[in-house]
């Protein structure tokens, strides 16, 4: 069994007085692809925000490579090796594709290798190479998602957090995006992916966690979850 | 009035406008990166003028040599003011930020009045007497030509820095999507403090350049805060290129207004342009229209 890269233990968090997470516990082994599934408002995005430091947990611990990172700020998390590709892409809309990618390598660890890293992304996403000078806001949804993922990879993360990469994309484009994620995972990057698209999400994952009302209610290998009656009824409509 | 008189006014307007452009670019930068309308902007320009004045009177350094030092000092002051005063109210209402920058402006102006008194000052050195003749009809005063050159280089440098360095990219990233910026590893407050300092020092450089051709008194900055605001609105709020063009345009319009209607109308025209732009095209004339 490989080592644990990320571990959340009884993490509680919220927005002001509103509590969104009621003790989330989960583990992400190094090199794995893990998915987080759950209904709208379950707390999936909040979980990712807590991991990447955008939101500070009220209690509980988050360990990354064994080290408690629950107080580390978002901008320091990138340097440590966690890239968060947020829900809704969140590109810099008036900048070119290339500039969006360049910002992904902002931290001192990667900045000196800017050119080489951009070339790597273009090799992985040849479509983006053709559109390197295009303004990000004018790209199609699928292309924007590719830029968002590539921008996250520019920081050479050891953990990539993906929040609903299939959001608003046509089925064919979703397949394309998932194929790319599979390719990324094959290079050894650990991936934690949030998906509403449960079948697609689990199909590229080793294991998954089901989140409901701010807590993990079910976990298991992707195979187990796909076979689980509860999951089939609630998320697969079977 | 003949063609050459008008042309002369346009040339004068462009020369003045270059300094307006520098002041406006500083304000546009600050607004773009941190959504703060800096109502102390003219005050910082005034402070730059006084610093230049002190260096001239005490150390006999002319503004064209002392401005880099003034710029550096004012950058430091801007950085400190951001960290000490603006950072703590980060995320609070626009109203708070308006009150705070207004308050900073008033406090600095009063402090200057306390130290230097309310008297008018002017400096004098040989270059001020020199004139350059362009053809047989157009004459320009030498200090204006020098200040135009320095403003051009400073403004151009600022533009290059914003567009082609990682630091400038980080500033634009914050301006375009402040939620995503930290996810790139961008330290919001450090970058904002840096660009606030730079915006302040752009205003101070304009102050240094204006000192030889203007009167100095504690309230001199106020009219420039207004002008900078007009320029930034004209230029599309956060576009520094827009601000630069709007600055030159304002200089020319003011100059032509003075020529045809008299000096006293220049300020009224500032206001008129301002209201016109706000009502016709809220995103500015040169700015990109945003949804
Ligand atoms: N900025 C915020 N301020 C206040 N409440 C919020 C905020 N963001 C999320 N919430 C609330 O926290 C809860 C969890 O939201 P979260 O975004 O984590 O859900 P999610 O599982 O990602 O849902 P979705 O699938 O719709 O993206 C929801 O009830 C939501 O309304
Ligand atoms: Mg979500």
Q: What is the per-residue DSSP string for chain B?
A: --HHHHHHHHHHHHHHHHHHHHHHHHHHHHHHHH----TTHHHHHHHHHHHHHHHHHHH---HHHHHHHHHHHHHHHHHHHIIIIIGGGTTS-HHHHHHHHHHHHHHHHHHHHHHH-S--B----GGGG-EEEETTTEEEEHHHHHHHHHHHHHHHHHHHHHHHSHHHHHHHHHHH-TTTGGGGT--HHHHHHHHHHHHHHHHHHHHHHHGGGS-B-GGGGHHHHHHHHHHHHHHTSS-HHHHHHHHHHHHHHHHHHHHHH-GGGHHHHHHHHHHHHHHH-TT-SSSPP--
The closest of B270, B196, B237, B216 to B17, measured between CA atoms, is B270
pLDDT band (50, 70, 90) for residue B288: low
Evaluate whether residue B206 is within a structural domain.
yes
Torsion B55-B61-B62-B67 (CA) sign: negative
Ligand 2 centroid to Cα of residue A158, in Å, is 22
How many CB atoms are closer than 10 A to CB B91?
5
Tokens of B203: 């205003």
Q: Does A197 sit in the ligand 1 pocket, CB within 6 Å?
A: no
- What is the rounded CA–CA span in Å between residue B157 and residue B163? 10
Evaluate whether residue B34 is within a structural domain.
yes
Evaluate whether residue B224 is within a structural domain.
no
Q: CB distance B169–A111 less than 8 Å?
A: no
Tokens of A230: 């509860």
- What is the rounded CA–CA span in Å between residue B252 and residue B11? 8
Does pLDDT of B96 surpass 60?
yes
Does pLDDT of B73 surpass 90?
yes
Give B176's contacts in chain A (Cβ within 8 Å). 92-95
- Compute chain A's Rg from CA coordinates: 17
Q: Give the count of Cβ contacts less than 8 A between chain A and B.
A: 65
Q: Does A165 sit in the ligand 1 pocket, CB within 6 Å?
A: no
* Atom 25 of ligand 1: nearest residue by CA position: A40
The backbone region for B117, taken as left when phi is positive above 0, alpha when psi lies in -120 to 50, beta otherwise, is left
Tokens of A47: 């979980």
Torsion of CA A217, A223, A226, A228, to 10 degrees: -60
- Compute chain B's Rg from CA coordinates: 19
pLDDT band (50, 70, 90) for residue B282: low
pLDDT band (50, 70, 90) for residue A26: very high
The strand pairing partners of A13, in sequence order, are A21
Tokens of B184: 């790139």
pLDDT (average), residues A8-21: 97
The closest of B111, B72, B27 to B208, measured between CA atoms, is B72
- What is the rounded CA–CA span in Å between residue A165 and residue B37? 37
pLDDT band (50, 70, 90) for residue B289: very low
Interface of B with A in 262-291 (CB under 8 A): 288
* pLDDT for B272: 86
Q: Does A133 sit in the ligand 1 pocket, CB within 6 Å?
A: no
Evaluate whether residue B200 is within a structural domain.
yes
In Å, how far is A52's CA from the nearest CA of chain B? 8
| Host H or E run for residue A46 | helix A44-51
Sequence-separated (6 or more) residues with CB below 8 Å from residue A96: A132, A133, A134, A135, A136
The closest of B10, B27, B9 to B230, measured between CA atoms, is B27
pLDDT (average), residues B68-81: 98
A166-179 in b/e burial notation, b at 16+ Cβ within 10 A?
Answer: bbebeeebbebbbe
The closest of B257, B199, B253, B262 to B17, measured between CA atoms, is B253
pLDDT band (50, 70, 90) for residue B69: very high
Q: Does A17 sit in the ligand 1 pocket, CB within 6 Å?
A: no
**DSSP letter, residue A236:** S
pLDDT by residue (tens digit) across A89-101?
999 999 999 999 9
The strand pairing partners of A159, in sequence order, are A82, A190
pLDDT (average), residues B99-115: 97
Sequence-separated (6 or more) residues with CB below 8 Å from residue B217: B118, B119, B120, B121
Torsion A217-A221-A226-A228 (CA) sign: negative
Tokens of A151: 């921008």
> What's the predicted TM-score (pTM) here?
0.91
> B164 lies in which domain range?
17-218
Q: Does A38 sit in the ligand 1 pocket, CB within 6 Å?
A: yes
- What is the rounded CA–CA span in Å between residue A90 and residue B176? 10
Evaluate whether residue B60 is within a structural domain.
yes
pLDDT by residue (tens digit) across A65-116?
999 999 999 999 999 999 999 999 999 999 999 999 999 999 999 999 999 9
| Host H or E run for residue A144 | helix A141-153
**DSSP letter, residue A196:** S
Distances (CA, A) of A71 to A26, A50, A79, B130: 18, 10, 15, 63
Evaluate whether residue B245 is within a structural domain.
no
Sequence-separated (6 or more) residues with CB below 8 Å from residue A131: A97, A139, A143
Evaluate whether residue B290 is within a structural domain.
no
Evaluate whether residue B203 is within a structural domain.
yes
Tokens of A31: 């090199």
Q: Is A25 exposed, middle or buried (0-12, 13-18, 19+ CB in 10 A)?
A: middle
End-to-end CA separation in angstroms for chain A: 33
Residue to test with chain B: of A83, A91, A106, most B Cβ within 10 A:
A106
pLDDT band (50, 70, 90) for residue B283: low
Count of domains observed in chain B: 1
Ligand 2 centroid to Cα of residue A213, in Å, is 13
* pLDDT for B290: 41
Question: Could you identify the atom of ligand 1 that is nearest to the CA of residue A39?
Answer: 25
Kindly state the greatest CA–CA separation across chain A: 51
Q: Go through the domains of chain A in sequence order and give each one's CATH number.
A: 4-234 (3.40.50.300)
How many CB atoms are closer than 10 A to CB A96?
16
pLDDT (average), residues B110-124: 96
């Amino acid at each position: 069994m490989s080592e644990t890269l990320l571990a959340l233990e009884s993490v509680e968090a919220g927005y002001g007085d509103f509590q969104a997470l009621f003790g989330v516990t989960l583990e992400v082994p190094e090199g794995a692809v893990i998915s987080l599934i759950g209904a709208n408002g379950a707390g999936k995005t909040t979980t990712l925000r807590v991991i990447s430091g955008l939101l500070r947990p009220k209690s509980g611990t988050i360990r990354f490579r064994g080290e408690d990172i629950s107080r580390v700020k978002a901008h320091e998390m990138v340097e440590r090796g966690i890239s968060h590709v947020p829900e809704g892409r969140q590109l810099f809309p008036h900048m070119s594709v290339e500039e969006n990618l360049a910002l992904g390598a902002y931290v001192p660890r990667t900045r000196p290798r800017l050119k080489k890293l951009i070339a790597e992304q273009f090799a992985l996403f040849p479509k983006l190479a053709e559109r390197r000078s295009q303004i990000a806001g004018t790209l199609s949804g699928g292309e924007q998602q590719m830029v968002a993922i590539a921008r996250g990879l520019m920081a050479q993360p050891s953990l990539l957090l993906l929040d609903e990469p299939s959001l608003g994309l046509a089925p064919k484009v979703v397949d394309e995006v998932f194929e790319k994620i599979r390719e990324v995972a094959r290079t050894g990057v650990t991936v934690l992916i949030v998906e509403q698209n449960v079948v697609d999400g689990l199909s590229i994952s080793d294991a998954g966690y089901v989140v409901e009302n701010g807590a993990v209610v079910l976990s298991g290998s992707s195979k187990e979850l796909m076979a689980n009656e509860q999951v089939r009824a609630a998320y697969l409509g079977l | 009035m003949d063609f050459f008189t008008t042309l002369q006014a346009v040339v004068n307007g462009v020369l003045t406008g270059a300094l307006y452009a520098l002041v406006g670019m500083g304000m546009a930068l600050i607004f773009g990166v941190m959504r703060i309308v800096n109502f102390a902007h003219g005050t910082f320009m005034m402070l730059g003028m006084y610093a230049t004045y002190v260096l001239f009177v005490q150390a006999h350094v002319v503004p064209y040599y002392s401005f880099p030092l003034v710029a550096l000092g004012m950058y430091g002051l801007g950085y400190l003011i951001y960290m000490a005063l603006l950072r703590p109210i980060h995320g609070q209402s626009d109203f708070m930020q308006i009150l705070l920058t207004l308050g900073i402006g008033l406090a600095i102006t009063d402090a200057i009045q306390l130290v230097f008194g309310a008297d008018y000052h002017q400096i004098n050195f040989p270059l001020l007497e020199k004139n350059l003749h362009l053809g047989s009809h157009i004459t320009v005063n030498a200090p204006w030509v020098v200040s135009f050159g320095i403003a051009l280089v400073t403004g151009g440098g600022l533009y290059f820095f914003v567009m082609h360095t990682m630091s400038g990219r980080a500033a634009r990233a914050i301006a375009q999507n402040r939620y995503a910026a930290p996810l790139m590893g961008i330290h919001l407050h450090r970058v904002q403090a840096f660009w606030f300092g730079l915006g302040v020092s752009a205003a101070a450089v304009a102050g240094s350049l204006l000192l030889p051709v203007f009167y100095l008194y504690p309230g001199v900055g106020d009219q420039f805060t207004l002008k900078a605001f007009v320029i930034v609105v004209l230029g599309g709020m956060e576009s520094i290129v827009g601000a630069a063009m709007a600055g030159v345009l304002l200089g020319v319009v003011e100059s032509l207004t003075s020529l045809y209607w008299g000096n006293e109308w220049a300020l009224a025209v500032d206001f008129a342009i301002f209201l016109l732009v706000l009502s016709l095209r809220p995103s500015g004339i040169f700015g990109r229209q945003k949804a």
